[in-house]
Structure 1
Amino acid sequence: MKQLFKTALNRIPRKYLIRSSLAVRPLLAIYLKGDKYTDPIDGKSFREFLPYGYENIRENALSPSTLSLERHRLLWLYLKNETDFFTANKKVLHFAPEQAFFERFKAMENLDYTTTDIESPIADVKADICNLPFPNDSFDLIICNHVLEHIEDDRRAMNELYRVMKLGGMGILQVPYEVERETTYEDPSITTKKDRKEAFGQYDHVRVYGKDFFERLENTGFKVVQADYTKKLTDEQIERYCLNKGEIIPVVYK
């Protein structure tokens, strides 16, 4: 089953994976039930998590119950334990809503919750992140995870995020980046899926971010905090929740 899942992740387009996973998820949860690893989002435990990745497959990455990845579980813990996200009234904009969060956030009575994406079948508003159909200063919190690496004009997208965020608002803007890389690598002449896969690690990425990602956010006007929440967790918790020790959550404020 694991090999079949690895094959599907590499060959099935994302929008079809989203649809099909709704039916497959309950079966996976039953098949992998155990007590070694726990998904903090729903509290369910399993003997192992599923592998995930495009070229570099990571073992024990994908939760069988919520379909969360390491970054989702880390973000959930951060929001729960370090913010008032689950208690305060907030107007939230969520880009490319992840299944691990979508239904849960939608059901929260304290949130005025809007989802947006250019192609996701579960998004409320189909929109281009570089030209958002929302007024200035609209949202208390913006969640935009693993989106900007797909956007050719990411600075314009950052400006739009800043524009629609309320003064005093907060954003979570996770991206994949290489901690040893000082400067972001991008080349607009690289346009084919094959060449982008070779250059940027994934066929639909247009850059590999370096540590200057945070400078780009600051240049947009955001105050940036590089939050390493794993420092507040024990090694046992990091292993049980299947997290990446030292992973940074980019938190921005307007």
Structure 2
Amino acid sequence: MQFFKSLEVSLRNWRNQVISPIKYRGDAVHCPVCDHSFSHFLPAGTGDRARPGAVCPLCRSRERDRLSWLFLQKRENELLQKHMQFLHVAPEPRLSEFFFSAIGEGYITADLMRKDVMVRMDVQDMLYPNETMDAIYCNHVFQDVPDDRKAIAECFRVLRPGGWAVVNVPLFAEATSEANTPGNVRPTWDKRPDEHVRNYGPDYQQRLEDAGFLTEVFAPEDLEPDAEKRKHLGIDGPRTGYVHFVRKPPAST
């Protein structure tokens, strides 16, 4: 089964790079991540979480990726430096390329199950000593881990004083609750954990603050005030979410 899964991924990548730019050519929407325009974005999700214009046909970035990309572009000079210690959990390919180009040595990718990363690691039990990282990027991960508070605490522990993190999650509920059953149950041959073991609400920010973080939350309109431009970039839908930017307080003097 794993062979067929790898073959499927290879065929999908070929389709994305060769067929999609032709099939979806146009200028109705623009993906800032790969800097290409298309006739429309592709749908994603199912049921009540279906999103009609979510995925870039070329780079496969989703609304959350495009939103984070805009945030990072606006803050790149402030946040990213060469050779900083930067941990990227569950790395997205295009964002990984961007981070590696900006940082170089010091950029680390990590994931619990994937083989295409530098470090195999559980975010609930990070392999690094206290205060060793300058930054962490961990996008849409905490909703899939059994103990998200422990994972958040681990991020706080390994960050240096003054260090920052982007720790976005999907917000589907009025208040955070544990899911009785995962939102995505894997087939028996797939050894990855089931997805969406909890549904987050706006009180997610309080969880971050409970761990000690200073928090800022950026909505799509904070990063792009023009409604037509938000639509053009595909970050105008209700499932786009927010950028949750946090800092570990600086060391007291």
Instruction: Name 2:113's counterpart in structure 1.
Output: 119
Unaligned ranges ≥5, structure 1: 1-11
How far did residue 147 of structure 1 move? 0.3
**Closer/same/farther in 2, CA of residues 109 and 92 from structure 1, 3 Å limit:** closer
Alignment of 1:195-214 (within 5 A): 195-197=181-183, 204-214=195-205
Identity in percent: 30
Asked if the contact 1:37/1:45 (under 8 Å) is kept, the reply is: yes
Report the TM-score when normalising by structure 1. Answer: 0.82
Instruction: Name 2:190's counterpart in structure 1.
Output: none
**Closer/same/farther in 2, CA of residues 18 and 100 from structure 1, 3 Å limit:** farther
Distance in 2 (CA, whole Å) between partners of 1:242 and 1:149 is 23
Instruction: Name 2:98's counterpart in structure 1.
Output: 104
Alignment of 1:120-159 (within 5 A): 120-159=114-153
**Closer/same/farther in 2, CA of residues 150 and 224 from structure 1, 3 Å limit:** same
Instruction: Name 1:8's counterpart in structure 2.
Output: none
Alignment coverage as a number of residue pairs: 232
Asked if the contact 1:79/1:85 (under 8 Å) is kept, the reply is: no
Alignment of 1:1-254 (within 5 A): 20-26=11-17, 27-55=19-47, 56-84=49-77, 88-89=81-82, 90-109=84-103, 112-178=106-172, 181=174, 183-186=175-178, 190=180, 195-197=181-183, 204-233=195-224, 234-244=226-236, 247-254=241-248
Write the letter of the residue equivalent to 2:247: Y
Distance in 2 (CA, whole Å) between partners of 1:166 and 1:132 is 14
Distance in 1 (CA, whole Å) between partners of 2:244 and 2:8 is 27
Range with greater deviation from structure 2 (134-143 or 241-250): 241-250
Distance in 2 (CA, whole Å) between partners of 1:241 and 1:22 is 22
Unaligned ranges ≥5, structure 2: 185-193, 249-253
Write the letter of the residue equivalent to 2:157: R
Instruction: Name 2:187's counterpart in structure 1.
Output: none
Write the letter of the residue equivalent to 1:173: V
**Closer/same/farther in 2, CA of residues 106 and 82 from structure 1, 3 Å limit:** closer
- What CA RMSD, in Å, does the superposition of the two structures yield over aligned residues? 2.6
Asked if the contact 1:118/1:127 (under 8 Å) is kept, the reply is: yes
Secondary structure at 1:35's aligned position in 2? coil
Asked if the contact 2:34/2:94 (under 8 Å) is kept, the reply is: no
Query: Which structure has the higher relative contact order (CA within 8 Å, separation 6+)?
Result: 2
Once superposed, which parts of structure 1, at least 4 consecutive aligned residues long, lie more than 4 Å away? 15-20
